[in-house]
């Protein structure tokens, strides 16, 4: 009697969450997978009563699009560039922060600051820093006004200015700007997690190393990194997952054209491709692309876990 | 060589190494500080540049030789930005969506976490595992169907579309459940003996004890509303319901005209200001929430 009353009450507590999850989480999983296998599924046509064949055509189409392979390439390149650099940098910063006493709190606060920002808003600041106002070595009717603060700094140190994001800029320059912004944005979270990990390492290891007068570099590679490896693995895995979902940081810098003025969509990502397909009412294609993204993230995560199983020291 | 002089030499050697060691340590410390300060300056530079640019005149901004302190502080950029991007309306919309969705979300999170932490029912473990499983799936997969659902329900261009689909966060439920589980069982049993109802116990005992976690969730949820971009652009990008991030991007996307960068930077600074305030006063809670989560918003 009491048992069954408990049961009934528990489900009452759970009801709002379960109803919402069924509508906005469970149903989307079923429906999205279903749509991905309905060939050329289109929301408008479906509403008009059209029927669609079951098959793999959406996947074949998505993979054969040059636009999609470009998106895939951009996403992968940004991941491969930014995740290792930001992880190593975060490790060095965390270790350095951990080794000092004075100003530790102040510096830690500064390093966390980029986390609490709006990625579109600060993307616009980065765009302004790299932006050239006026034309750049281009049309003669215009004159160069300012090359932007980044180019100012480069010229101060004797370099030549670069067309980073404007009309006619190179793909490499665009990627560089994106990588700088993404790394800047990714550091705070990684530093926070690694600092937490460092704080939990037993001090005795370091005291033993001190007695043996082990050089600092060896302490880092032989003690800190192995003992920190679970945290490092976590930071790298979440870094890859976030990297594969990159989208808003590019909107922040390039706007919705996702590329310089002469080549819109050049820096589009996999998430961007999904939203473009959705905007064109091509739900079948969007669903197939979303499943591919899910598959890629799953595979990369499994590879990461497999590597860390061999390397991580628990 | 006598034993004695040997001993003296060894002592000298020792002193020598300690001197070099100390010199090395000092140099090492200086290097560490130099590295940290350099990185700190790089981290801070965009913020400095944003505020600096927002105070310059357009003429000064365009000088080929940059100035690092405004020749003339132009606060009018801020008033211009506020009206140009219609920031007042955007702020109000975002605050409304943020507050309503946070309150509802907190309520649902609390009762769901309580059921998973304290109540007994069949299939509890299985249901909880299934919930955690959904966390692995990228949000884009949900967005496609949710977009259709929202339009089917007639919620396009309403605040409802911005609030309801994201009320349940499995992660927050998980976080709070862990916190609830830490509260000793004896407290619950004692309350039962006193005849306190589950409902009263939840709100009078558990919620106050889990306050730090609830504050973390509130901040992350509010920040999520403030920073959300993709979903609002899809379902509610009309004048009456537009949120701040979309408004900011749209107001300054016009590339054809001559962009007034100082005004743009002033708008960016205004949008960033609430986040900075949260950061200054509630940093502790954000860091605590983030170190357990690893998600943005």
What one-character DSSP code corresponds to residue A146? E
**Sequence spans of domains, chain B:** 3-55, 77-293
Spatial CA neighbour of A252 closest among A114, A133, A65, A134 = A114
Burial (CB count <10 Å: 0-12, 13-18, 19+), residue A166: buried
Residue A95 belongs to what H/E stretch?
helix A66-99
Residue-wise pLDDT tens digits, B162-219: 999 999 999 899 989 988 998 888 888 888 888 888 899 999 989 999 998 999 899 9
CA distances from A265 to A219, A252, A308, B149 (A): 46, 14, 35, 28
Global pTM reads 0.89
Please tell me which residue of chain A has the smallest CA distance to B277: A116
Q: Which of the residues A3, A14, A179 would you substitute to probe the B interface, choosing the one with the greatest number of B C-beta atoms within 10 Å?
A: A14
> For chains A and B, what is the number of CB pairs under 8 angstroms?
243
pLDDT in the model for residue A211: 84
Spatial CA neighbour of A117 closest among B2, B269, B37, B34 = B269
Q: Is the dihedral of CA B274, B277, B279, B285 positive or negative?
A: negative
Burial A272-284 (b: 16+ CB within 10 A, else e): bbbbbbbeebbbb
Residue-wise pLDDT tens digits, A53-110: 888 899 999 999 888 999 999 999 999 999 999 999 999 999 999 988 889 989 999 9
The shortest CB-CB distance from A124 to any of B141, B264, B287 is to B264
Helices then strands, each counted (H, E), chain A:
15, 2
CATH topology of domain B77-293: MetI-like fold (1.10.3720)
Do the chains contact at B142 and A29, CB–CB below 8 Å?
yes
B58 vs B36, residue with greater confidence: B36
Average model confidence (pLDDT) across chain B: 86
* Bridge partners for A287 per DSSP: none
Please tell me which residue of chain A has the smallest CA distance to B28: A216
Asked whether the beta carbons of A312 and A233 are under 8 A apart, the reply is yes
Burial A3-37 (b: 16+ CB within 10 A, else e): eeeeeebbeebbebbbebbebbbeebeebbbebbb
Which domains occur in chain A, in start order? 59-131+166-311 (1.10.3720.10)
pLDDT in the model for residue B294: 47
What's the average model confidence in pLDDT over B133-138? 86
Give CA–CA dist A19/B151, Å, rounded: 18
Give CA–CA dist B197/B38, Å, rounded: 58
Count the alpha carbons within 13 Å of A264 in the hemisphere toward its beta carbon: 6
Which of A301-310, B212-221, B238-247 is predicted least confidently? A301-310
The shortest CB-CB distance from A251 to any of B53, B114, B249 is to B249
Name the percent of chain A lying above pLDDT 90. 54
* Bridge partners for A146 per DSSP: A133
Spatial CA neighbour of A41 closest among A276, A280, A271, A268 = A280
Residues B8, B13, B17, CA angle at the centre, nearest 5°? 150
pLDDT over 60 (residue A266): yes
Average model confidence (pLDDT) across chain A: 88
Please tell me which residue of chain B has the smallest CA distance to A245: B138
Give CA–CA dist A53/A63, Å, rounded: 19
What's the average model confidence in pLDDT over B91-118? 95
Residue A269's CB is within 10 A of a number of other CB atoms, namely 29
Do the chains contact at A121 and B62, CB–CB below 8 Å?
no
Residue-wise pLDDT tens digits, B101-112: 999 999 999 999
Residues in chain B closer than 8 A to A103 (CB atoms): 33
B80 φ/ψ angles, rounded to the nearest 5 degrees: -65, -45
CA distances from A126 to A120, A301, B7, B15, B46 (A): 10, 30, 64, 52, 7
What's the average model confidence in pLDDT over A231-258? 91
pLDDT grade for A212, boundaries at 50, 70 and 90: confident
pLDDT grade for A214, boundaries at 50, 70 and 90: confident
pLDDT in the model for residue B66: 86
Do the chains contact at A116 and B28, CB–CB below 8 Å?
no
pLDDT in the model for residue A216: 79
pLDDT over 80 (residue B3): no
What length is written for chain B?
A: 297
pLDDT in the model for residue A95: 92
Tokens describing residue B75? 């606060």
pLDDT over 70 (residue A46): yes
pLDDT grade for A50, boundaries at 50, 70 and 90: confident
Residues in chain B closer than 8 A to A20 (CB atoms): 108, 164-165, 167-168
Q: How large is the ipTM? A: 0.89
Which of A43-52, B133-142, B143-152, B232-241 is predicted least confidently? A43-52
Asked whether the beta carbons of A50 and B166 are under 8 A apart, the reply is no
Do the chains contact at A20 and B168, CB–CB below 8 Å?
yes
Tokens describing residue A184? 């800047």
Do the chains contact at B146 and A7, CB–CB below 8 Å?
no
Give CA–CA dist A287/A273, Å, rounded: 11
Which residues are within 8 A (CB) of B139 and not within 5 positions of it... i.e. 6 or more apart? A245
């Amino acid at each position: 009697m009491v048992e069954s009353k408990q049961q009934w009450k528990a489900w009452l507590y759970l009801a709002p969450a379960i109803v919402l999850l069924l509508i906005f989480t469970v149903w989307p999983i079923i429906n999205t997978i279903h749509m991905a296998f309905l060939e050329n599924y289109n929301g408008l046509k479906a509403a008009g009563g059209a029927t669609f064949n079951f098959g793999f055509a959406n996947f074949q189409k998505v993979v054969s699009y040059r636009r999609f392979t470009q998106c895939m390439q951009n996403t992968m390149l940004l991941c491969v560039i930014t995740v290792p650099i930001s992880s190593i940098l975060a490790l060095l910063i965390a270790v350095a922060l951990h080794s000092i006493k004075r100003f530790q709190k102040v510096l830690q606060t500064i390093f966390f600051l980029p986390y609490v920002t709006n990625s579109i808003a600060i993307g616009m600041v980065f765009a302004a820093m790299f932006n050239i106002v006026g034309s750049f070595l281009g049309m003669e009717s215009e004159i160069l006004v300012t090359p932007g603060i980044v180019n100012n700094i480069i010229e101060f140190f004797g370099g030549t200015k670069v067309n980073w994001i404007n009309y006619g800029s190179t793909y490499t320059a665009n990627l560089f700007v994106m990588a700088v912004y993404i790394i800047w944005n990714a550091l705070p979270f990684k530093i926070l997690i690694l600092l937490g990990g460092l704080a939990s390492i037993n001090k005795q290891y370091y005291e033993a190393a001190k007695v043996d007068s082990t050089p600092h570099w060896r302490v880092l590679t032989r003690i800190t990194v192995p003992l920190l490896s679970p945290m490092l693995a976590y930071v790298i895995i979440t870094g890859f997952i976030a990297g594969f979902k990159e989208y808003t940081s590019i909107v922040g810098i390039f706007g919705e054209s996702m590329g310089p003025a002469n080549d819109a969509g050049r820096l589009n990502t996999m998430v961007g491709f999904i939203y473009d397909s959705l905007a064109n009412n091509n739900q079948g294609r969007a669903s197939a692309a979303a499943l591919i993204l899910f598959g890629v993230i799953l595979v990369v995560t499994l590879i990461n876990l497999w590597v860390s199983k061999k390397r991580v020291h628990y | 060589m006598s034993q004695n002089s040997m001993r003296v030499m060894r002592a000298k050697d020792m002193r020598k190494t300690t001197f070099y060691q100390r010199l090395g340590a000092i140099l090492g410390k200086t290097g560490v500080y130099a590295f940290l300060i350099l990185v700190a300056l790089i981290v801070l530079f965009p913020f400095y540049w944003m505020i600096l640019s927002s105070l310059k005149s357009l003429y000064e901004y365009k000088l080929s030789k940059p100035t690092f302190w405004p020749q003339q502080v132009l606060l009018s950029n801020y008033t211009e930005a506020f009206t140009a991007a219609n920031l007042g309306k955007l702020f109000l919309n975002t605050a409304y969506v943020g507050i309503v969705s946070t309150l509802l979300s907190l309520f649902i999170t609390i009762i769901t976490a309580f059921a998973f932490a304290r109540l007994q029912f069949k299939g509890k473990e299985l249901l909880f595992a299934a919930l955690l499983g959904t966390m692995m799936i990228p949000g884009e997969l949900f967005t496609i169907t949710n977009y259709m659902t929202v339009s089917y329900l007639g919620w396009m261009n309403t605040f409802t579309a911005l609030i309801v689909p994201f009320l349940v966060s499995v992660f927050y439920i998980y976080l709070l459940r862990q916190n609830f589980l830490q509260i000793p069982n004896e407290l619950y049993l004692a309350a039962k003996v006193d005849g306190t109802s589950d409902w009263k116990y939840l709100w009078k005992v558990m919620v106050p004890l889990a306050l730090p976690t609830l504050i973390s969730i509130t901040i992350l949820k509010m920040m999520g509303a403030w920073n959300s971009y993709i979903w609002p652009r899809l379902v509610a990008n009309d004048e009456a319901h537009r949120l701040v991030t979309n408004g900011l991007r749209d107001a300054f996307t016009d590339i054809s005209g001559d962009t007034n960068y100082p005004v743009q930077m002033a708008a960016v600074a205004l949008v960033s200001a609430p986040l900075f305030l949260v950061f200054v006063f509630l940093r502790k809670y954000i860091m605590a929430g983030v170190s357990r989560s690893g998600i943005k918003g």
